[in-house]
Amino acid sequence: MRIDSVTDATFTAEVLESDKPVLVDFTAAWCPPCRAMNPILDEIAADRDDLRIVKLDVDDNQSVAAQYSVLSMPTFMLFQNGQPIQTLVGSRPRKRLELELEQALVQEPAGR
């Protein structure tokens, strides 16, 4: 799967109304750790059909970033059934990110 960009205008439809979990990468063009995470996110997106990954540029989309109190980049927020179930701040190795995502997805109660 490829990584799409979302905006303040498309966030509800693309993230909150998604039928599968969505990892939102709150990012900024000027952020070196954000750029360092791009290949890792690309690999995860290519390997997983059960998780959608999207990017939201916080400089161009300040409303959603403010709504979820995103202050540092990169911030990764995992949404399931329209709700944020996990927030991770800062870059990390692929294996650690995947483990953290798996733990959050397993803990989320079914049918919510």
Residues labelled as active-site residues: 31, 34
Helix (H, G, I), strand (E, B) or coil at 31: coil
Structure tokens at 103: 């733990």
Preceding amide of 33 cis, omega within 30: no
Question: What backbone phi and psi angles, to 5 degrees, belong to 63?
Answer: -65, -50
Distance between CA atoms of 29 and 31, rounded to whole angstroms?
6
